[in-house]
């Protein structure tokens, strides 16, 4: 393992910033970083914008109206960013951190789950659908989801498909995001189908409260996650969020948790810094 280099991840609060400018800044930071460059964690919120991942289809954005659409190189389909949402961008060297992409995704999701727990909400993972979800009828309940991820048919990390993520090189070798494709076994790269069908994720009784979309370039991460705090949710009705028709999107205020953006950002930043520590 590469020796650690005085690792720390102090969140940097950027406030409200333009999405495209932030995207370009992440690309520049990642392209110019060296093995000695310190990791960073940016926290911000964006003016209203739809962002489309590499796997995105135009038909999933059916009524953008005046909201701009930005094409990106992250994994995933379309999502929405807007005021009242905490967006976090961990810019990390995974080789130096000493863990693989699959674990990185798990750690990010765990940070969101622990942030929600701080506010009395139970977050859930759904098999085959990155991000964090809540029970609409019982946001604080701890009942286990039937559609939770389970550890079976474990295969090597290098063969795992993680929806919501891409890694270089982009063409056939990029890791595809979006819903599970019929004809693929769970966890197998989409350019090596096995013929074993899998079930698509189902979201009955659930609302998505946090979205995930990641890019890994030369073992370094950018893009990240978005936690809905107190938003105008109507723009989600104009798209198929993350490529899923009918997927309900919620925020903390919708489920009865009234917290300010700054407090939510502070707690999420703390949890991310803790969970991502090598």
Query: What is the per-residue pLDDT across 93-106, written as a single tens digit (0 to 9) for each?
Result: 999 999 999 999 99
Residue 57, domain member (yes or no): yes
Task: Give the Cα separation of 53 and 59 in Å (integer).
Answer: 13
- Residue 165 maps to which CATH number? 3.30.930.10
Q: Is residue 5 part of a domain?
A: no
- Assess if residue 258 is contained within a domain: yes
Per-residue confidence band for 91, with pLDDT thresholds at 50, 70 and 90: very high
18 in a domain, yes or no?
yes
Residue (of 98, 102, 56) closest to 80 by Cα position: 56
pLDDT for res 128: 87
* Position 157 pLDDT exceeds 50: no
Give residue 169's domain range: 11-275
Catalytic residues: 242
Percent of the chain with pLDDT strictly greater than 90 = 69
Residue 6 in domain: no
Confidence grade of residue 162 (pLDDT, cut at 50, 70, 90): low
Is the pLDDT at 4 greater than 70? The verdict is no
In a domain, 136, yes or no: yes
Question: Considering its fold, how many domains does the chain have in total?
Answer: 1
pTM: 0.83
Indicate whether 118 belongs to any domain. yes
- Rounded CA gap, 69 and 79, in Å? 10
Q: Does 4 fall in a domain?
A: no
Give CA–CA dist 53/78, Å, rounded. 6
pLDDT above 70: residue 7? no
Per DSSP (E only), the strands in 136-174 are: 165-167
| Position 234 pLDDT exceeds 80 | yes
Q: Which tens digits make up the pLDDT trace of 35-79?
A: 999 999 999 999 999 999 998 899 999 999 999 999 999 998 999
Where do we find the tokens 């796997």? Answer: 55
Average pLDDT score over the chain: 84
Phi, psi (rounded to 5 degrees) for 257:
-105, 115
């Amino acid at each position: 393992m590469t020796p650690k280099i005085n690792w720390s991840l102090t969140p940097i609060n950027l406030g409200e910033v333009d999405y495209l400018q932030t995207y370009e800044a992440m690309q520049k930071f990642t392209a110019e970083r060296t093995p000695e460059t310190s990791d960073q964690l940016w926290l911000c919120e964006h003016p209203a914008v739809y962002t489309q991942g590499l796997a995105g289809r135009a038909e999933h954005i059916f009524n953008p109206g005046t909201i701009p659409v930005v094409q990106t190189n992250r994994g995933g389909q379309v999502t929405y960013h807007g005021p009242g949402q905490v967006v976090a961008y961990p810019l990390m060297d995974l080789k130096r951190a000493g863990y693989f992409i699959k674990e990185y995704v798990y750690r990010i999701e765990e940070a969101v789950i622990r942030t929600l727990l701080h506010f009395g909400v139970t977050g859930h993972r759904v098999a085959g659908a990155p991000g964090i979800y809540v029970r609409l009828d019982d946001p604080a309940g701890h009942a286990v989801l039937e559609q939770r991820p389970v550890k079976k048919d474990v295969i090597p990390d290098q063969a795992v498909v993680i929806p919501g993520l891409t890694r270089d090189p982009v063409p056939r070798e990029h890791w595809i995001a979006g819903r599970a494709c019929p004809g693929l076994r769970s966890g197998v790269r989409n350019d090596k189908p096995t013929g074993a069908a899998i079930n698509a994720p189902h979201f009955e009784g659930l609302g998505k409260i946090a979205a995930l979309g990641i890019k890994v370039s030369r073992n370094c991460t950018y893009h990240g996650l978005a936690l809905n705090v107190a938003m105008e949710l109507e723009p989600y009705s104009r798209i198929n969020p993350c490529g899923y028709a009918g997927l309900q999107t919620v925020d903390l205020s919708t489920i009865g948790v009234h917290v300010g953006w700054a407090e939510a950002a502070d707690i999420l930043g703390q949890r991310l810094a803790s969970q991502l520590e090598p």
